[in-house]
């Protein structure tokens, strides 16, 4: 028996589980689902957002718009009460991460830079996600520019690629996957771009074209995280060697203020994976994920 990290959207818990080493890097498959940066998701509820398009909250539905404003898909999220129960049962593979919950003016921008890690030596069909993200305080959504290794609904294989993702209730949206090279610099940002009938956000790798998605009329995003998420890992060499350093971390509020931040961390002590805050705060912070 060992203790593994179980991450629900908005809830972190420690639970005992009778699983192989690197638990939570693998979850029990569910029929007609595929792994996303929110765990197992229904294939029928995953939508690719056209380049230059938008995700727009309209009443209880979500419209996906093309670059010219045409509605190309209408998603019908599960009611919040139903979604909350489903999320509470859906384990996701957040292995180790840093987080901070904002209680002041809305977050205006959350950005950081990191380099694409080496290709893992172990190859066992693993799926790895590395990202900075913001989610609402209630945890029923998340917006994130994501680096992935392996195969996700956005595509992929035995190489690294980047895309932006937005998860809301039981619905999943993503941009196209863009392959990247080992050592390449990534500049990930989630930015508040408007406030009206809800909050409008953009997620993208600012130095890589074709990786952005925009959400219009969503909830306020308040919980900032830097995270390693993984599935299908069977040996430690299924992770990259060494560490991933997220540097130049800047979190600015919509009023132009840089808040005082004490980052909280949660580690996978049983497997020796950890998140270390080298330089704290909201400007030029540095956080390492060590494998």
d(CA 136, CA 104): 13
pLDDT mean over 139-146:
94
Please tell me the predicted confidence (pLDDT) of residue 11: 39
Run of H or E residues at 33: strand 33-36
Confidence check: pLDDT of 35 > 80: yes
**Ranges of each domain in the chain:** 2-290
**Cα–Cα distance list, 73 to 36, 54, 56, 64, 214 (Å):** 19, 11, 11, 5, 15
Do 168 and 226 touch, CB atoms closer than 8 A? Answer: no
The pLDDT tens digits of the residues spanning 197-208 come to: 999 999 999 999
Confidence check: pLDDT of 1 > 50: no
Average pLDDT, the chain: 88
Confidence check: pLDDT of 266 > 50: yes
Architecture of domain 2-290: Sandwich (2.60)
Read off the pTM: 0.89
Confidence check: pLDDT of 20 > 50: no
Please tell me the predicted confidence (pLDDT) of residue 38: 85
Phi and psi at 45, nearest 5°, equal -115, 20
Q: Which of 21-25, 147-151, 242-246, 287-291 has the lowest mean pLDDT?
A: 21-25
Please tell me the predicted confidence (pLDDT) of residue 7: 42
pLDDT mean over 41-68:
96
Bridge partners (DSSP) of residue 37 are: 39
Please tell me the predicted confidence (pLDDT) of residue 284: 98
d(CA 90, CA 218): 22
42 band by pLDDT with thresholds 50, 70 and 90: very high
Confidence check: pLDDT of 91 > 90: no
Please tell me the predicted confidence (pLDDT) of residue 139: 86
């Amino acid at each position: 028996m060992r203790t593994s990290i179980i991450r629900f959207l908005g809830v972190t818990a420690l639970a005992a589980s009778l699983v192989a080493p690197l638990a939570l890097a693998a979850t029990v498959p569910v029929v007609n689902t595929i792994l996303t940066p929110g765990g197992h998701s229904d294939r029928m509820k995953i939508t690719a957002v056209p380049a230059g398009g938008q995700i727009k909250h309209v009443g209880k539905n979500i419209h996906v718009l093309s670059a010219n404003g045409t509605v190309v898909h209408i998603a019908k999220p599960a009611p919040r009460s139903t979604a909350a129960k489903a999320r509470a049962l859906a384990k996701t593979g957040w292995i180790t991460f840093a987080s901070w919950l904002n209680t002041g003016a809305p977050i205006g921008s959350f950005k950081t830079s990191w380099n694409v890690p080496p290709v893992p030596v172990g190859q066992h069909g693993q799926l790895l996600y590395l990202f900075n993200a913001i989610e609402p305080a209630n945890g029923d959504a998340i917006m994130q520019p994501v680096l992935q290794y392996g195969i996700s609904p956005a595509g992929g294989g035995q190489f690294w690629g980047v895309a932006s993702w937005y998860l809301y209730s039981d619905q999943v949206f993503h941009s196209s996957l863009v392959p990247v090279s080992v050592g390449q610099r990534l500049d990930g940002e989630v930015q508040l771009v408007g406030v009206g009938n809800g909050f409008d956000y953009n997620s993208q790798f600012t130095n890589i074209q074709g990786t952005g998605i925009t959400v219009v009329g969503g909830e306020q995003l308040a919980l900032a995280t830097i995270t390693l998420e993984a599935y299908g890992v069977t040996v430690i060499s299924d992770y990259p060697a060494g560490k991933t350093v997220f540097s130049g971390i800047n979190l600015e509020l919509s009023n132009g203020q840089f808040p005082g931040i004490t980052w909280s961390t949660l580690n996978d002590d049983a497997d020796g994976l950890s998140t270390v805050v080298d330089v704290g705060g909201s400007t030029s912070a540095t956080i390492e994920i060590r494998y």
